[in-house]
Structure 1
Amino acid sequence: MANLEGCQERVLAGRLQPKRQRHAKCCSGTGGYSAGWVFVIGALLIVTGVLVLTLIESKKARAEVAATLGSSVVRQNALSQEHRAEIEEINKQNLLKMAAVSKDHHYEMENLWIILSIAEQDLDAALKVASKATQ
């Protein structure tokens, strides 16, 4: 109210000034700017505020994506090492099984050679007996 009273006093004191000057100095409330400029400036401030908030949110999102990606890489490396260790263990087990099978095969072959040598001895003995019987 005090502002309006001061404005009225200025208007009364300045009756000799042209109407346009009196209006621009005291009654517009915008310091002489037209309503269109006030709207444009307000809209620009709002747009700037929205852009700043969007920028802040995008930085937060980038940080979250970077953190998620980092943890994903670490987790993937850990799984990869775990799988390598499992593969090495399976390879060791397979080598042990192959060694056991090879040992069994070698033992079987020795037994077959022994049987073959016994069979050859029996054949030789049978041939000697047959040859003595024919003589």
Structure 2
Amino acid sequence: MSSCQSHGAGTSCASTATASPALPFTLPEGAAPLKVSDAVISKVGTMLAEEGDPNLKLRIFVTGGGCSGFQYGFAFDEESKDDDTCVEAGAVKVLVDASSLQFMLGAEIDYEENLEGSRFVIRNPNAASTCGCGSSFSV
């Protein structure tokens, strides 16, 4: 069953792979499953406007691979799945499947632009280590 949680600006969710973290992060009662920065809301809002499809949502997920064992992925998706958690951040809806959410619970999703380029950044309290580029992690 899909659940959509409405939160103020700066919250969202992300997805992860199928194995359980060794030491799971525990959220305080009533806390959002993910935090989404205003920079993400702005950037994704612009990207969604360019796509011209009001049904698109940002899907964040975790898959096996990368330098550290797991890697993050981002995609636009029109459909929610039965096990998705949906977090509304401003005008942006973020989807994360249950398998991915267990790895990303409590994570902060941000977007940065600097001299090195632009990228989405995930600050994940469940990650035991990350690679140098920040796109993969281990638990």
Give me the TM-score of the superposition, normalised by structure 2: 0.15
Q: Which has the higher strand share?
A: 2
Of the two structures, which has the highest relative contact order with CA contacts closer than 8 Å and spacing of 6 or more? Answer: 2
Q: Which has the higher helix share?
A: 1
Whichever of the two has the greater Rg, that structure is: 1
